[in-house]
């Protein structure tokens, strides 16, 4: 493999919580252990869901925990021109189509897209808003996850496709498009992220194929839940990380990652150096979920 390039790519819907710090730390340690580059990208493509000041808070939290990234921070909100270029390329090569289907129409087809609009190569003349979908082929999507092993997309019922939205009706770029274009442009070849978006990997695989690029290697971590079983997330009001407790936060995240625990006398920078040296993917849990009450080291 060429030189390792990884990334952490949070959405600014709120400050980082323990679950997002755990993911950031895993991505950081994996990259640094393999002498790789670690990038920071802010996925600020959905203004209605974003919280004012969240980008600055995310950056402050990473800095407070000494998770220092390489190169400049990339903001997806500044990359619209690039996404439009890729959309035009996909249209020119027959890989996309305009879709006017409503949610009500598609609700009857939960297992796939019925292909109603596959012949629409131009925007509706009546002025109706339209999404843009990627036209997927019949190839079976499979990949080997570094932690979860062999993954295969379930076969769709006859008459249904895996076609998915890459630009929304409200003219916002879909996550799947932006993340693939950005990872290609940044040279990202290893992605460490949460198991809750493992299924997105199949859609992204179709995009990589359409754009004639090789997908990264993936490692999907267990999702962190609160003791009551709810996923730690900004939507579920997970408490923000306390930047004044950096060492304790890192040690808690290391426990969830089942990594060797650094000696207690080490300060935060030396704790990270120890953890970079002793990082081992084999110790990671393969469970789908972990709770903040878990100490998987026993």
**113 assigned binding-site residue:** yes
Kindly report the CA angle at 208 between 45 and 184, in degrees rounded to 5? 60
**218 assigned binding-site residue:** no
**117 assigned binding-site residue:** yes
For residue 151, the cross-strand partners are 143
**234 assigned binding-site residue:** yes
* Cα-based distances in Å from 78 to 44, 75, 82, 99, 170: 9, 6, 9, 26, 18
Handedness of CA 241, 243, 244, 249 (dihedral sign): positive
From the list 152, 153, 162, the residue with the least C-alpha distance to 111 is 162
**101 assigned binding-site residue:** yes
Dihedral angle of Cα 238, 239, 245, 251, to the nearest 10 degrees: -20
**What is the greatest pairwise CA distance in the chain?**
69
**11 assigned binding-site residue:** yes
**173 assigned binding-site residue:** no
Q: Please give the Cα distance from 60 to 67 (Å, whole number).
A: 10
For residue 218, the cross-strand partners are 191
End-to-end Cα distance, the chain: 35
**7 assigned binding-site residue:** yes
Structure tokens belonging to residue 295: 């100490």
Q: Which residues are annotated as a binding site for Zn(2+)?
A: 99, 101, 113, 117
Q: Which residues are annotated as a binding site for ATP?
A: 234
Q: Which residues are annotated as a binding site?
A: 7-11, 43, 99, 101, 113, 117, 175, 193, 234
Q: Which residues are annotated as a binding site for L-glutamate?
A: 7-11, 43, 175, 193
């Amino acid at each position: 493999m060429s030189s390792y390039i990884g990334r952490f790519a949070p959405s600014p819907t709120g400050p980082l919580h323990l679950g997002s710090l755990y993911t950031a730390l895993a991505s950081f340690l994996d990259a640094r252990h393999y002498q790789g580059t670690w990038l920071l990208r802010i996925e600020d493509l959905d203004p209605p869901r974003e919280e004012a000041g969240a980008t600055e808070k995310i950056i402050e939290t990473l800095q407070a925990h000494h998770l220092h990234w390489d190169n400049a921070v990339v903001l997806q909100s500044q990359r619209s021109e690039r996404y439009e270029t890729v959309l035009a390329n996909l249209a020119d090569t027959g890989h996309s189509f305009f879709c006017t289907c409503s949610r009500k129409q598609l609700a009857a087809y939960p297992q796939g897209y019925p292909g109603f609009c596959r012949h629409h190569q131009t925007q509706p003349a009546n002025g109706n808003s339209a999404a843009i979908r990627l036209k997927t082929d019949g190839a079976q999507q499979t990949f080997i996850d570094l932690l979860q092993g062999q993954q295969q997309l379930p076969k769709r019922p006859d008459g249904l496709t895996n076609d998915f939205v890459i630009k929304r009706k409200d003219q916002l770029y879909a996550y799947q498009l932006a993340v693939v274009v950005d990872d290609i442009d940044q040279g990202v070849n290893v992605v460490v992220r949460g198991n809750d978006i493992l299924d997105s990997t199949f859609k992204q695989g179709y995009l990589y194929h359409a754009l004639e690029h090789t997908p990264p290697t993936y490692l999907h971590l267990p999702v962190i839940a609160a003791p009551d079983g709810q996923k730690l997330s900004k939507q579920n009001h997970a408490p923000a990380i306390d930047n004044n407790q950096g060492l304790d936060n890192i040690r808690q995240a290391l426990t969830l990652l089942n990594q060797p625990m650094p000696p207690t006398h080490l300060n935060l920078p030396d704790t990270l150096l120890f953890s970079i040296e002793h990082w081992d993917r084999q110790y990671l849990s393969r469970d789908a979920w972990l709770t903040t009450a878990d100490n998987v080291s026993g």
